[in-house]
Amino acid sequence: MTFGEFDVIETYFTHRFAQRDDVQVSVGDDGAVVAIDPTEDLVVVTDTMVAGVHFDANTPARAIGHKILAVNLSDLAAMGAEPRWFSLALTLPEIDEEWLTGFSTGLKEMSEYYDCSLIGGDTTRGPLTITITAHGVVPKGKALLRSGAKPGDWIYVSHALGDAGLALAVQQKRLAIPDQHYRKVCERLFFPTPRVALGQSLRGIASSAIDISDGLLSDLGHILKASRVGARLSLDELPLSLPMTESLSQEQALQLALTSGDDYELCFTVPESQRGLFDTLVAHAATKPICIGRITSDLNRVVLELDGEPWQLPAGEQGYQHFAFSSERGHDGQS
Ligand SMILES: [Mg+2]
């Protein structure tokens, strides 16, 4: 059900975007045709962003274009996949040329940087909603899963946590921080960096992986459940940015780092036997993951320690529940 007097997808997107050589038929037919290598497995991910739920009206259009592809590429990274192609379903309340230009610019920057081609799309009229389905590849049998963690494996995160949650808390006037810090954390909320190269380098090394979209505890919980294990985290090791450490109390910073969503960092586990190889690999990498704990045999249980003492989150802090912009989030308003 296309609307408008011209084709939005062709006008703003396909004709402006670079295409990979392996795209045989792109937008313009009933479906796309891409060439697949028989030595590879196809990894398919999808993510939706809804205005008023995942972003508010003040979010720049370019940031929305960047982020909707970034969150999909982050899922591909968590699977160890190399991005290849994506399709876009765009539901728009109206044809706003300025918004479409900004949005398609953010999307194009990500698409071209990660060499992931737009191969299909559809526009409908309705409340602003954006869905991307992205496709990536891994060598056969090499996809990173949530289910492979074993007791004794080391737990890593790819980068500082909590910045996006801090930006959101300031936006919603739940916290106040200096302007220069706010600008930095807004960059992290609006323009997250999917850890695509790191994810691919973890193939054959990490025993499990996930990307942190809903908060570390919540997403690590998915690994623990799928792998039937527990975890012990040393909160002294949790990587925190300067805006976090300089403008918040330790408790506020830890709460955000553990429970706020939208960071799109990777959380993964490395067996002791692979640690030497892993250390060599990250010695030369742009992203330096940080070891924050260890997997235990204690099914689904997470033990938090600070300065060698047990530490607990205030009750009710369990991770982002996809109501960030609704009044229902009032109960955990201080996070
Ligand atoms: Mg994910």
Q: 212 CA to middle of ligand 1, Å?
A: 7
pLDDT reported for residue 86: 97
pLDDT exceeds 50 at position 58: yes
How many angstroms is it from 33 CA to the middle of ligand 1? 26
Average predicted confidence (pLDDT) for the chain: 91
Task: Return the sign of the alpha-carbon dihedral for residues 49, 51, 64, 181.
Answer: negative
Residue pair 252/175 in contact (Cβ under 8 Å)? The answer is yes
**Cα–Cα dist 259/266, whole Å:** 15
Would you say 320 is a known binding-site residue? yes
Residue 125 pLDDT > 80: yes
- Tell whether residue 115 is among the known ligand binding residues: no
The span from the CA of 288 to the CA of 275, in Å, is 14
What's the 76 CA to ligand 1 centre distance in angstroms? Answer: 8
Query: Looking at residues 15-20, what average pLDDT do you find?
Result: 86
Question: Known binder of ligand: residue 30?
Answer: yes
| Range with the poorest average pLDDT among 117-121, 289-293, 321-325 | 321-325
- How many Å apart are CA 268 and CA 198, to the nearest integer? 11
Nearest residue to 262 via CA among 199, 335, 327: 335
pLDDT at res. 4: 56
Which whole number is the average pLDDT over 276-287? Answer: 89
pLDDT of residue 317: 55
pLDDT number for residue 66? 98
267 pairs with which residues across the strands? Answer: 157, 210
Residue 54 known to bind ligand? yes
Identify residues whose C-beta is under 5 A from ligand 1, the ion.
Answer: 75, 211
Residue 47 has pLDDT above 50, yes or no: yes
Residue 316 among known ligand-binding residues: no
Separation of 6 CA from ligand 1 center, angstroms? 35
How far apart (Å, rounded) are the C-alpha atoms in residues 147 and 207?
Answer: 8
Model confidence at 15, pLDDT cuts 50, 70, 90, reads confident
CA gap 303, 319 in Å, rounded: 16
HSE (side-chain half, CA atoms, 13 Å) at 232: 12
Q: How confident is the model at residue 257 (pLDDT cuts 50, 70, 90)?
A: very high
307 is in an annotated binding site: no
| Range 55-65 average pLDDT | 93
Q: 48 CA distance to ligand 1 centroid (A)?
A: 12
Residue 214 Cα to ligand 1 middle (Å): 9
pTM of the model: 0.91
Which residues neighbour 145 within 8 Å (Cβ) at sequence distance 6 or greater? Answer: 79, 208, 209, 226
Ordered by where they begin, the domains of the chain are: 8-139 (3.30.1330.10), 154-316 (3.90.650.10)
Q: Is 219 annotated as a binding residue?
A: no
